[in-house]
Copies of this chain bind each other. A is one copy, B any other.
Amino acid sequence: MIIVFKPNASEAQMEQVHDYLSAHGFEIHPSRGKEYTLYGVIGNTQKLSPEYFKGFDGVSDAFRVVESYKRCSRSFHPGNTKVKIGDVTVGGREIVVIAGPCSVENKNMIKKISLDVVPHGANMIRGGAFKPRSSPYSFQGLGKKGLEYLREAGDRTGAPVVSEIMAIQDIPLFEKYVDVIQIGARNMQNFALLKELANITKPLLLKRGISATVEEWLNSAEYLASKGNQKIILCERGIRSFERSTRFTLDLSSVPVIKKKSHLPVIVDPSHAMGQSEYVIPMARAAIAAGADGIMVEVHHDPRNALSDGPQSLSVEAFRALTHEIEMISEALGRKFVRANT
């Protein structure tokens, strides 16, 4: 960390900072210029907050030099992390496609959609059983039954399944039924949940919060990784901006930024951000072109009668067309798109 003093900071003010740092075991490298004095601080500075020091009298500014996350940073682990889920690898040369309905509505629909999407290129199946809904009056998901139906659909097609967890008490249920546990955008900073999930060994899919910086996102991943589980897949799903022609602003630039700062794989969910299916396809293509390791899209056999998020769901035909485009872009970029053996 670097602490910059104001031009008129007194010796006593600088000493106060010096004493605090020494008392906490940090080494200090002062540098005195004509216009300002600064301290370079050496040690385990991940525990320190730059903002904390801005509050000391005489301090003009304080900056972090080393990232606050460690296990998730590329400097800690230079090679790409590959997360394996059954036969599927996320983070390697392969482009991964996760598809399925927003919510598991009943046993037949998730089976039907799975049988429709897997042969056309879905490597994993998604389906919500516990739904985070802004209004208490909206459909809240089938709960445990939903997970069971999803599991059956996965077993029937051979594709691993992903679903979103909302509460700590449901962890055993998710460990039993799903292959990848998703942490939704609204829970990205539900630290109580993150701490519990750090104890398990299942792969985790961490969505970016709608107003989380990339740094905060990686810090949340650091919670998950803090006990050694590196099977973390990041998922960009749109941030909130002033623009309203789409539901959220899909921040595809987070893909190359994550690739630079972290070794973790990153995929993109264009369905939630766009809100309208006609915009999902171009943005899914763009995600792959930006360097994402895969996409997650909502597909419904009958979007008009979906119980949630119908308008942003692709029809099976649209999904099929999308996978052809993804395949061609993957090849143009030297990556591999794998269809299930059927």
Residues of A within 8 A of B (CB): 2, 4, 7, 16, 20, 27, 29, 31-36, 38, 40, 42, 46-47, 49, 51-56, 60-61, 63, 65-66, 68-69, 75, 130, 132-138, 166-169, 186-187, 189-193, 195, 209-211, 213-216, 219-220, 222-223, 226, 239-247, 249-257, 260-261, 273-279, 282-283, 285-291, 303-305, 309-313, 325, 328-329, 331-333
Contact = CB atoms under 8 A, between A and B. Distances in A.
Tell me the number of copies of this protein.
4
A55 B277 contact: yes
B256 A278 contact: yes
Q: Is the interface of A mostly helix, strand, loop or mixed?
A: mixed
A42 to B, nearest CB: 5
B243 A239 contact: yes
A273 B253 contact: yes
Contacts of A243: 213-214, 239, 251, 254
Contacts of A47: 137-138
Contact of A260 (B239, B278, B328): B278
A287 B286 CA distance: 7
Given A55-B277, A252-B286, 20 more contacts: A2-B2, A7-B75, A16-B304, A20-B305, A33-B42, A35-B66, A36-B40, A54-B311, A56-B304, A136-B195, A136-B219, A168-B169, A213-B242, A239-B242, A245-B254, A249-B251, A249-B253, A260-B279, A286-B290, A328-B333
